[in-house]
Amino acid sequence: MNIIVAGCGKIGKAVIGTLCSEGHDVTVMDKNPDTVREITNIYDVIGICGNSADCETLEEADVENAELFICATGSDEMNMLSCFLAKKMGASHTVARIRNPEYNDRSLSFMRQQLDLSMSINPELLVAQELYNILKLPSAFKVEYFSRRNLEMIEIKLKEDSPLCGKKLSKLRDRQNVEFLIGAVMRGGRVTIPDGSFELQAGDEISIAAAPADMQKLLKGLGILKKQARSVMILGGSKTAYYLAKMLLSSGNEVKIIEKDAARCEQLSEILPKAVFINSDGSQQEVLLEEGLRSVDAFVALTGMDEENILISIFASNQNVPKVISKVNRDEMIKMAENLGLDCLVSTKSITSDIILRYTRALKNSLGSSIETLYKIMGGKVEALEFKVHPDSKLLGIPIKDMKIKPGILIAGVIRAGKKTIIPKGDDMIMQGDRVIILSAEYRISRLSDILR
């Protein structure tokens, strides 16, 4: 597809990289010539230096032939105006990054309609939702939901003392009274779609799929269920911190936010009166200890600096805080954090890229089953996709054991009649209206039929 990306900051660069890896024809636009030069040196894209809300600049980018226009500058209003102009000048679909909490659901819905926006993305809100999901299920370091939360997929890392170590998957399923599936295992940087004879080892990162109620029973039965975090300390008063605190407070959690900017503390305290705010430098270990770091259930580092988040998270882990989560955006920093023992990391740009990837795959797809959800799991090495099955699907009425499925692909779950969760076995069949969850470690899937050889 012909795609224009305006605004080449952290989010824009991540989106550009994802789109280029998918083989799209990408044109990038930014007011900073050095930024444009850097992007064009890294990727095979057309670069234009200019204002995305300027009609002449949009004409130069050939916006009238763009199938998708994405605007991710630092200004919500600029993003909305640029998308409005791009749509008027011929772009088929438009996506704007809109982050301001003042734009609530009602106003956003109105603006999307009036501006004819295809989609708006709030990266900070998306990160906060992921953090919230992890805090509600702290046994995992990543939690994803499919089909309106009817199926849950989590990732956990097996420690030396894990009761799962040395167990074959077939034996593991026989001993549990719930339906679940270990769909992918990453060991030594390599991903495997395992069969029943696969034996788990310490250090393995595994992906587990189950219905939410069954997931709780499973983790309890395996002896690895951790209690939900009730008291949470957040470092940094960012937009993400605001969204996360709002979610936690609405669920009855105790929230303490440490922010060194006095004006920001005052602003947040007015809109989050139930939270406790500490106006101090949370990078100082003494401050964290004085504010009760050792007694909280979870610590979340959300400053704007990856290095600070990593170092303070390591300190929190050494104080035996049950759950420590750190926001880290730069790829090289993510690797370093993992090597230093931090296993629960979230990335704003990765989450946003997943949303754009799902949307572009869906736009390319015209027949069969369309993508409803797409996540990158296992460090980005595996895609987990959800499809809604249409009446003309090639997979209808065929037992899964008789399907000629490509290697490295697994049917991980089926949601029937909107709510019944099926962890599929060989005799199960796919029916019209089902929602099917696929794991793919080797292939780029756009339609459900793509899983077949």
Residue 148 has pLDDT above 90, yes or no: no
Q: pTM here?
A: 0.90
For 99-108, 255-264, 346-355, 401-410, which range has the lowest pLDDT when averaged over its residues? 99-108
Tens of pLDDT along 403-421?
999 999 999 999 998 678 9
For 28-32, 205-209, 219-223, which range has the lowest pLDDT when averaged over its residues? 219-223
Tens of pLDDT along 54-71?
999 999 999 999 999 999
Residue 335 has pLDDT above 60, yes or no: yes
- The domains of the chain, with CATH numbers, are 2-121 (3.40.50.720), 128-221 (3.30.70.1450), 234-321 (3.40.50.720), 363-451 (3.30.70.1450)
* pLDDT for res 365: 63
Determine what percent of the chain is predicted with pLDDT higher than 70: 98
Say how far apart CA 314 and CA 339 lie, in whole Å.
11
Tens of pLDDT along 30-89?
999 999 999 999 999 999 999 999 999 999 999 999 999 999 999 999 999 999 999 999
At residue 367 the predicted structure's pLDDT band, cuts being 50, 70 and 90, is very low
Q: Which residue has the higher pLDDT, 27 or 343?
A: 27
* pLDDT for res 105: 67
For 167-171, 351-355, 417-421, which range has the lowest pLDDT when averaged over its residues? 417-421
Tens of pLDDT along 178-198?
999 999 999 988 999 999 899
* pLDDT for res 172: 87
* pLDDT for res 368: 42
Q: Please state, in angstroms and as integers, the Cα–Cα distance from residue 318 to each residue in 202, 289, 293, 342, following that order.
A: 21, 12, 11, 11
Q: Which residue has the higher pLDDT, 292 or 148?
A: 292
